[in-house]
Structure 1
Amino acid sequence: MMANTAGEQMMSEVVAMLHELIPTINAHEIKNELSVIFSKYHVTKIELQEVHPDLHEKIQLFLSSKRLEGLSPITLESYELDLKIFAEHVKKKTDEITAADIRVFLGRFSHLKLSSIAKKLSVLKSFFGWLASEEIIQRDPTKKLKPPKQEKRLPKALTIEELEMLREACKTTRQRAFLEVLYATGCRLSEVQALNRSDINYQTLSCRVIGKGNKEREVYFSFKAMYHLRKYLMARTDNEPALFITERKPYRRLSKRGIQREIALIAENAGLGKKVSPHTLRHTFATLTLNNGAELAAVQALLGHEDPATTQVYAQLTDEKKREQHKKYLVQ
């Protein structure tokens, strides 16, 4: 006799189902026959509260493949988190997941911005699209799902006056260095946070950063940014290789959240009355540079954008600039 295991339970359920479909069968004989077959296998019951092992396995396969393709650690970490949340909510075998399951899952996040929901769907499309292309599943349940329509809003860049107000509101050399480096380079927060002191080329006033898709590009400092960065670094007495570190011991690389807090604090001290983040400074770099006559292709390269349309969003001229251009170029 088999022990009262998951296999025994499964066998009982199968026999009960067969007896219900064909009442005339000999349930005792069928159970004995199945007992011999089931004894050759190890059967594990999937608890409803658990992530299905098949889905977990497919997620790990997908992440391994993307890692080999050279996706950046930041992107991989983001994919893994979104897929882990998905697996915890949809406890099914991968090839049994339907478009309806995905809609129900995304519906749980109605409190989030449309851009956040669109990002979750994008990750799922990437995951299931890859599984289908590799012929691991027969159909892609996300194929007919369209991302939610998002309101097109222009990035909120700072004016020159607001930028000066931020500069004056800096209370430490570190704060001023943050501000000038983020603005002068137009870098993403993650790119600046990952920089080391050894990355800075003082001769060319530049450094190389690793952006989205693990792509490397060169960015440049202004004289002002380099002056305040040197001032900050010369005041440090630690041996930590990171460009920006914590203020208190034990010194370590400052987190992205730490840099965000410092920028928000500067904005609060400046009394701007608006939210300012490291990304605001990236927007400001792009907008002011384009308004000052820079070519779109050059700004695209400096920002690390693959698609020119992404950079085009910043090419919104101020009223003053529009008047100046009209006066300069109108043929009378």
Structure 2
Amino acid sequence: MQPSSKKRKFGVRRGVNQNPAAYLSLSELFDRYMALKKTQGWARLTIQGYYTHYNWFIDYLEEAEGLPDLMNEDITSDVFLGYVEDMADRGLAKTTMNVRIRTTRAFLRWCYEEGHIAEPIHEKFKPVKVPNDHVDALTPDEVKRLLNVIDDTRFVGFREITIILTALDTMARISEIVAMKRDNVDLREGTVRLEADDTKSKRTRVVPLSPHSLRYLHEYMIETEDFMTDHLFVTYDGLPLDAGTFRKRLTEIKEEAGITSKRVSPHVLRHTGALLYILDGGDPFSLQQILGHTDASMVKKYVNMADSDLIMQHRKHSPLNSVFDRKKRR
């Protein structure tokens, strides 16, 4: 669909307030929406995420529809449903699709409730269904395979191992990890403080560290003292490490480790840490606090996965297995 060269004429639309704001383009409405959310104290990372996801939609609009923006009369559910189909055609993971859908949907709900658009698009533009009983996670053996292929005699390799161990131990998001400062780490108390401005929930949380990650962090912090920077994880030049750089490197490590059946990403490390925590006897309530979740829905997924693992282990090691095996031998 090519943009029209004719000047648009806006008529009276039922259900839309008759004020200048009702005739703003979608991007102008988005700018107003984000300005409002900034005044409401949204976290910096949340705001960045909304801009990123909106730009993905604009990219789709330009490529698929030939439009740099949408005017009021063009803001319809068909455009956004087409966006969902395009994401599916591109092979995006359903979880990735849903993150983009939810942020855009929240914006569209605001547009409708404020009277800027006539159609309640958010009621049709819904997240796609995904299995709710499973998350990607690595086994302890797969984690060891990742660590074993990294050359820790090099600075980059030692940094990678330290980040992986920190990610598994703290179960922090990669955005929270790369934002860590040196003084956030308390080696004496064995904790790391995640600042409110760097967390998704906009709440400061203090996360415990095990002796394993503490040992690596201690040595890493000694090695990087000469960089004279507040940032904890840095490049060779002493600049803050970019999250994208670590994501790309994890993919390379995964291939070197020969892990072909699973995706390996910073978020998979977070899932892995949470699942192993539950499997080792950790309780869901403390896990929710460590993860920084405001509700227990995600924690329940880890518990359900742990229960499934327990069933498998019981089938393999049931006391009755040996009883009936003896009868067979007789």
TM-score with structure 1 setting the length: 0.74
Alpha-carbon spacing, 1:133–1:179, altered in 2? closer, same or farther (3 Å): same
Alpha-carbon spacing, 1:221–1:151, altered in 2? closer, same or farther (3 Å): same
Provide the C-alpha distance between the structure 2 equivalents of 1:121 and 1:149, rounded to a whole number of angstroms. 12
Contact 2:102–2:126 (CA under 8 A) maintained in structure 1: no
Aligned to 1:26: none
Q: Report the 3-state secondary structure (helix = DSSP H, G, I; strand = E; otherwise coil) of the residue aligned with 2:96.
A: helix
Q: Report the 3-state secondary structure (helix = DSSP H, G, I; strand = E; otherwise coil) of the residue aligned with 2:70.
A: coil
Contact 1:246–1:254 (CA under 8 A) maintained in structure 2: yes
CA RMSD in angstroms, aligned pairs only? 2.9
Deviations 1:199-239 (CA, angstroms, capped at 9, x unpaired): 11222211222321323222121111011111112112211
Aligned to 1:211: 199
1:264 and 2:244 aligned: no
Q: Report the 3-state secondary structure (helix = DSSP H, G, I; strand = E; otherwise coil) of the residue aligned with 1:219.
A: strand
% identity of equivalent residues: 23
Aligned to 2:218: 230
Amino acid at match of 2:103: V
Contact 2:162–2:216 (CA under 8 A) maintained in structure 1: yes
User: CA offset at residue 258 of structure 1?
Assistant: 1.7
Q: Report the 3-state secondary structure (helix = DSSP H, G, I; strand = E; otherwise coil) of the residue aligned with 2:254.
A: helix
User: CA offset at residue 138 of structure 1?
Assistant: 4.6
* Structure 2 segments unaligned to the other structure (5+ residues): 1-5, 10-22, 62-66, 153-157, 320-330
Amino acid at match of 1:197: R
Contact 2:109–2:120 (CA under 8 A) maintained in structure 1: yes
2:145 to 165, 178, 195: 165
After TM superposition, the structure 1 = structure 2 runs for residues 189-208 of structure 1, keeping only pairs within 5 Å, are 189-208=174-193
Deviations 1:71-120 (CA, angstroms, capped at 9, x unpaired): 22222222123324445626432365222232233333332333333333
After alignment, is 102-111 or 266-275 more displaced? 266-275
Contact 1:206–1:218 (CA under 8 A) maintained in structure 2: yes
User: CA offset at residue 255 of structure 1?
Assistant: 0.4
Contact 1:118–1:147 (CA under 8 A) maintained in structure 2: yes
Amino acid at match of 1:146: K
User: CA offset at residue 263 of structure 1?
Assistant: 3.0
Amino acid at match of 2:81: R
Provide the C-alpha distance between the structure 1 equivalents of 2:257 and 2:129, rounded to a whole number of angstroms. 36
TM-score with structure 2 setting the length: 0.74
User: CA offset at residue 314 of structure 1?
Assistant: 1.3
Aligned to 1:108: 86
After TM superposition, the structure 1 = structure 2 runs for residues 1-332 of structure 1, keeping only pairs within 5 Å, are 54-87=25-58, 89=61, 91-94=69-72, 96-109=74-87, 110-111=89-90, 112-152=92-132, 154-172=134-152, 173-209=158-194, 210-236=198-224, 237-247=226-236, 249=237, 251-273=238-260, 274-315=262-303, 316-317=305-306, 318-319=309-310, 322=314
